[in-house]
Amino acid sequence: MPHHTHLVGSVGLANVETVFTSVSDILVSCCSRIPDGETDERGYWIRWQKKNFDNCGGLELKLL
């Protein structure tokens, strides 16, 4: 029975090359697509997006 895997989000590895190599070595033919793992400065994706959020006039920061 074939298995299919769908990966989303961050991968806690050092860089994009390591993510692609590791995922392809481990999951071999289970993935038709491999995300880059949001490494480096994108490791905290929501913080990385802050500059985009700051430029959206319709958004307001609410601290709870």
- Residue-wise pLDDT tens digits, 51-60: 888 888 888 8
Core vs surface per residue 31-57: b (16+ CB within 10 A) or e: beebbebbbeeeeeeeeeeeeeeeeee
Check residue 1 and give its pLDDT: 61
Instruction: Report the C-alpha gap between 24 and 11 in whole angstroms.
Output: 13
CA distance linking residue 53 with residue 41, whole number of Å: 16
Altogether, the residues listed in the chain come to a count of 64
> Which of 7-16, 36-45, 47-56 has the lowest average pLDDT?
36-45
